[in-house]
Structure formats: C-alpha cells, structure tokens
Chain A
Amino acid sequence: MTQPRRLSPDARERAFRRLRRLTISTVVGAFAATVGLGTLAAATYSGTSKTTAPTPSGAPAAQPSANTAPQPTDPSAPTSDPNSPGSGSLQPTPQPPASGSSGSGHATTGGSR
C-alpha cells in the first residue's frame, strides 16, 4: 500500500493560493456571464413592463344614451410580450392640445372617407 505524498509547507501554501484564485475566478466569471446573458435577453425581448390600462369600475355619472355593446376583455393579463416592438403604453403628448386661434386650419381630423 502506497503512502500519500507529504507536501512541504511551501507546496501546500501554493496549492491553497491556486485553489483560492480558481474559486474567485469562477465566482467572477459566473457573475459576468449572468449579467451578460441578462443584458442579451433584455435586448432580444423588447416587451416592456405592465400594461397601464385600468380595470374600469363603475360608469361615469354623466353618460350618454344606452349602450348595450359587449365589452372587450380587460387587459389584466400580459405583462411582457415579445410581440410588442413599441412603447409599453399609449402615450400622451407632452403639450396638450390647445384651443385654436382665429384663422383657417391647416388640416382636418375626422372619420376617413
């Protein structure tokens, strides 16, 4: 039966240092890979966070005449969607529309003919 080789204190110290370097390298490498893959995934899937549309609760007090149309399903579900290339919400303009001044308009918005 062979005896295990006895290391000198110096050799053992070198082995410990090598083991520590290896452990640190592994931790740093794993962290970098996590960040890199996360960034890549975020860039690949352009869906954004939650839909901001509300769940309506109760009808406004002053409403026009009867409406019996079935309502669409409420936007409660999807939070992130790889099908969505644009913004994650319908965005208002920074400047609200203002009352028009006198003079002819430049264009007309209305239903399309």
Chain B
Amino acid sequence: MSVTPRSWRALGSNVQLVVTHAEAAEPAALAVREVLAAVDATYSRFRPDSELSRLNAQAGRRTRVSPLLAQAIGEALRGSRLSGGAVDPTVGRAIRRIGYERDFSLIAEQRGPLKLTAERIPGWQLVELDPISRLVSMPMGVELDLGSTGKALAADLGAAEAMKAAGRGGILLSLGGDIAVAGEPPKGGWRVLVAEDSTVPPDGEGQTIRITSGGLATSSITVRRWQRGSEEMHHIVDPATGLPARGAWRTVTVAAVTCVDANIAATAAVVRGEQALEWLEAIGLDARLIALDGRVAYGGRWPAESSSGSVRPPIRRTT
C-alpha cells in the first residue's frame, strides 16, 4: 500500500493530505479544496465578506445562518459546555483587543504597546442557536471567533469528504497540525510526529506515535506569538480574563475520536493550567503535555517516551 502526500496552503495554514492509494490523490485533494473553500467563505474571521463576519456585524438581531455555520457554531458551543467554558467562541472582541485582528502573517509587523486590562468575555451562554431553524441570536457587542474548533472541524469534514471521493483506502488530512484520519489506515497505522510546531518535518525531532482512527490536535503557546510593547502575546485566550492564557502547560496534544474533540480538549488544557492533567484523566482522553520548563507529562493511554525527565501524572487509568 503506497502513501502519497500532497501539500498546499489554505486557511492561513499548511494543508497536508496523505492517501494510501495513489489514484485517490486527485479526487481526494479536490474534495478537500472544496471543503476548505466553503469553510473560508463561511467562518473566516479575517474575511469581512464571510458569513461569520456578517453575523458578528448583526449581533443583537436574530439571524438565519447556513448549515455549515450552524454546525460550526454548534460545535463551538458544545466545546464550551464540555470544557466548562475554558474554550469559548465569544472571545472575538478579546482576541482583537490583544492585536490578533488579521491574518497572523500580518500582525507580527505591529509592535506598538497595547493598554490591556483583564476583562471577562461575554460568555457562550449568551449565544442562542436553534439547530432546526438555524436561527442564531446573541446580544449586541458579542463577536464570535471559531478559532478553537473551526479548523479542527474543517479537518474532520475534509477527511470525510476526501474519503468519500477516494472511495477506498485511507486518508490523513492535516490542517496546520490538526489531524483527522478516515478509512483504512496503512499497515501499522498512521505515523505522526508530535512536536510543538506543526512545520517541523515528520522525520524531525519529537515523539512519533501511530494512530488508526479519529483525530489529533495540538494547542501551543510557543507558536503564533507576537510582541506588543513589552508584552509577549499568543493566540490562546483565557475566557476568564480575556488575555492570553498564562497556564502551566505550553503545549498540549490530545487524541480523540474526532479532531474537533481533540482540539477542544487541547485548548481547554492550556487554559486550565495546573488542573488540566487531572481533567484530561477524568474524561478519559489520551494526551501529552509539555510544561513551561519543557518537562513532559502523559495522560490516559498515551505512550511514554523513553527519554528521562518526564513528569508522570499521579493518576493513570491504564499504562
């Protein structure tokens, strides 16, 4: 079974598509491109003409949205509920306040200081979505940002559509390190390098694991960082303060049944800080966490590396 990779840029990230049958590469890539184009037009925060931007501009009014936006908002609200509010789509205004208001490739040029104060975000409970009528309402001033779930959802949707187009074999789709797999994996499973930066080549430094289904996602404060005055910023906002999360973990990788679930848990873990490992253990997710000082901890059934210096969690469901 051969494995054929393809890569390109979309949604401000590197896209990598791997198929197990070479003849499936073209139709699978086409299907992924269509999904990503739809996602970009629907819920990009950086496109003023996206449906999400229009929805944010109409806050205060009840608005009917497309099935894709309804699904994306639904997943974001579900993520908020299941993470106890550690991830929250109403961070839109807060994330603009910290300077992340355009594509990341452009914001590094702005270096002036920002006057920042802690300010709790509006809260996901204020957003109402009727999944049947697809009517969304939220108070005036609330801005949605689907960054914590949107790209992972795109990976899940893209992998599923690519699999349909391929018809046989297996698919791995990575969107900036958010990975979804579908179909039959190659012999021995999909080998994935777990790193802090998704641009590290798959044969680079890090832990290599194998997965056969579901999704993998990594949230990290070590990338997408920028300087404003003397303040170091990053893109993971703590809903409790509206400021970049200052937790105990700098990078968290989670495996779950979907990429969306993995990403919700990974981002929530970064925000939760010291309680993250216990929380991940309690909900039964497999995870690898890197502390601010570089030590590594494992949650659930995640395989340990042979290197020394790792922090072992006090609770492990299995070894």
Partner-B contacts on A (CB < 8 A): 44, 46, 51-54, 56, 59-76, 78, 81-101, 103-113
Chain A, Cβ-Cβ closest to B274 = A67
B210: which A residues are within 8 A, CB to CB?
Answer: 97-101
Q: How far is the CB of B22 from chain A (nearest CB, A)?
A: 14
A89: which B residues are within 8 A, CB to CB?
Answer: 82, 283
Report the bound CA distance from A84 to B302 in whole Å: 28
- Which listed residue (B71, B178, B268, B271) contacts A112, Cβ 8 A? B178
A95: which B residues are within 8 A, CB to CB?
Answer: 211-213
- Which listed residue (A62, A85, A92) contacts B285, Cβ 8 A? A92
Report the bound CA distance from A81 to B291 in whole Å: 34
Please state if B315 and A97 are interface contacts (CB–CB under 8 Å). Answer: no
Q: Kindly state whether residue B202 has any CB partner on chain A within 8 Å.
A: yes
Please state if A93 and B198 are interface contacts (CB–CB under 8 Å). Answer: no
How many chain B residues touch A (CB < 8 A): the figure is 117
Chain B, Cβ-Cβ closest to A79 = B81
Please state if B277 and A60 are interface contacts (CB–CB under 8 Å). Answer: yes
The contact sample of 30 A-B pairs, CB cut-off 8 A, is: A46-B131, A51-B84, A52-B282, A52-B283, A54-B282, A60-B315, A64-B274, A64-B297, A65-B291, A73-B84, A85-B74, A85-B131, A87-B261, A91-B257, A93-B257, A93-B286, A96-B318, A97-B286, A98-B209, A100-B192, A101-B210, A105-B208, A106-B5, A106-B186, A107-B18, A107-B193, A110-B197, A110-B220, A112-B177, A113-B14
Q: How far is the CB of B241 from chain A (nearest CB, A)?
A: 6
- Which listed residue (B13, B77, B249, B311) contacts A84, Cβ 8 A? B77
The B interface is mostly helix, strand or loop, or mixed, namely mixed
Please state if B248 and A75 are interface contacts (CB–CB under 8 Å). Answer: no
Chain A, Cβ-Cβ closest to B239 = A72
Please state if A75 and B258 are interface contacts (CB–CB under 8 Å). Answer: no
Please state if B314 and A92 are interface contacts (CB–CB under 8 Å). Answer: no
The A interface is mostly helix, strand or loop, or mixed, namely loop
Q: How far is the CB of B272 from chain A (nearest CB, A)?
A: 6
Q: Kindly state whether residue B233 has any CB partner on chain A within 8 Å.
A: no
B167: which A residues are within 8 A, CB to CB?
Answer: none
> Known: A46-B131, A60-B278, A81-B77. Contact between A107 and B190, CB under 8 A?
yes
Query: Which residues of B182-220 have CB atoms within 8 Å of chain A's CB atoms?
Result: 186, 188-204, 206-214, 216-220
B271: which A residues are within 8 A, CB to CB?
Answer: 69, 72
Partner-A contacts on B (CB < 8 A): 3, 5, 13-14, 16, 18, 70-71, 74-75, 77-78, 81-86, 104, 127-132, 151, 172, 174-179, 186, 188-204, 206-214, 216-224, 238-241, 245-249, 251, 253, 255-258, 260-261, 264-265, 268, 271-275, 277-279, 282-286, 291-293, 295, 297, 300-303, 311-315, 318
A84: which B residues are within 8 A, CB to CB?
Answer: 74, 77-78, 81
- Which listed residue (B249, B258, B318) contacts A64, Cβ 8 A? B249
Q: How far is the CB of B106 from chain A (nearest CB, A)?
A: 14
A59: which B residues are within 8 A, CB to CB?
Answer: 274-275, 278
Of the candidates B78, B131, B212, the one having the most CB atoms from chain A within 10 angstroms of its own CB is B78
Please state if B177 and A108 are interface contacts (CB–CB under 8 Å). Answer: yes
Of the candidates B275, B282, B311, the one having the most CB atoms from chain A within 10 angstroms of its own CB is B275
The 7 A-B residue pairs with the shortest CB-CB distance, nearest first, are: A100-B208, A111-B220, A64-B291, A112-B176, A105-B202, A96-B301, A75-B84
- Which listed residue (B129, B196, B301) contacts A97, Cβ 8 A? B301
Report the bound CA distance from A85 to B241 in whole Å: 28
Chain A, Cβ-Cβ closest to B288 = A97
Please state if A90 and B84 are interface contacts (CB–CB under 8 Å). Answer: no
